Amino acid sequence: MSTIIESLNWRYATKKFDPSKKVSAEDLATLKEAIRLSASSYGLQPYEVLVIEDPEIRKQLKEVSWGQPQITDASHLIVFANKTNVTAKDTETYMNNISKTRNIPVESLSGFNDMINNTVVTLPEDVKNTWTAKQTYLALGSLLATAAELRIDACPMEGFDAEGYNKILGLDKKGLNAAVIATIGYRSEEDDTQHYAKVRRTAEELFTTL
């Protein structure tokens, strides 16, 4: 069995973290790089990622997270905030990044730029908001898989008040919205969830080969 399958079998949505154990700076850097390298539609990465360490901020966020202890007990809180409105300026910035990274003329990317503008930028703002929010889940998946490989526990969470997060973190002023969050750290010995058998549909039920 490959190590990735072993790691995915090992991981679970940790409900109780050991607050005395912290993720090292080296491992945190690896997790951040995994998020940075995550797939996204067109490679556009229409989101920002906040790593929350400040205990006072996390106390405030716990109040708008239904009081869930993971928010303050985990080593770090990761907030994936999607851009609520992708504009032509965003695609221009992306084209300039491609041009610089690949050492090619930005003019040669005009077709790609037009395609994104025509398929994404022209969408109604509420549709774009939904589309960009979906992109954050791809990055979340990269975080979860990489954390499992490092034997770092994680808990993906949708149980929070996005408007509360936006207000506390000033996201709405930046054209951002808290789409999904995750806590990372190390499981508490008192977390009974770690002993539960993993429940998934069988391969025969899940997959269809045509």
207, HSE (Cβ side, Cα atoms, 13 Å)? 4
Record the pTM: 0.96
Q: What is the 3-state secondary structure (H, E, C) of the chain?
A: CCHHHHHHHHCCECCCECCCCCCCHHHHHHHHHHHHCCCCHHHCCCEEEEEECCHHHHHHHHHCCCCCCHHHHCCEEEEEEEECCCCHHHHHHHHHHHHHHHCCCHHHHHHHHHHHHHHHHCCCHHHHHHHHHHHHHHHHHHHHHHHHHCCCEEEEECCCCHHHHHHHHCCHHHCEEEEEEEEEECECCCCHHHHCCCCCCCHHHHCCCC
Average pLDDT over residues 81-110: 98
For the chain, the domains span 3-82+142-206
Average pLDDT over residues 136-142: 98
**What gap in Å lies between CA 148 and CA 167, rounded to an integer?**
31
**What gap in Å lies between CA 129 and CA 11, rounded to an integer?**
30
Least confident residue range of 1-10, 98-107, 134-143: 1-10
The tens digit of pLDDT for each residue in 24-41 reads 999 999 999 999 999 999
pLDDT at 3 over 60: yes
Note the pLDDT of residue 20.
98
Average pLDDT over residues 206-210: 98
Note the pLDDT of residue 9.
97
The tens digit of pLDDT for each residue in 167-191 reads 999 999 999 999 999 999 999 999 9
* Mean pLDDT, the chain, integer: 97
Q: Are 149 and 7 in contact (CB under 8 A)?
A: yes
Cα distances (Å, whole numbers) of residue 119 to 15, 108, 176: 40, 19, 21
Note the pLDDT of residue 2.
73
Tokens describing residue 185: 């750290």
Q: Are 63 and 72 in contact (CB under 8 A)?
A: no
pLDDT at 96 over 90: yes
Percent of the chain with pLDDT over 90: 99
Kindly indicate whether the domain formed by 3-82+142-206 is annotated with CATH number 3.30.70.100. Answer: no
pLDDT at 1 over 70: no
36, HSE (Cβ side, Cα atoms, 13 Å)? 7
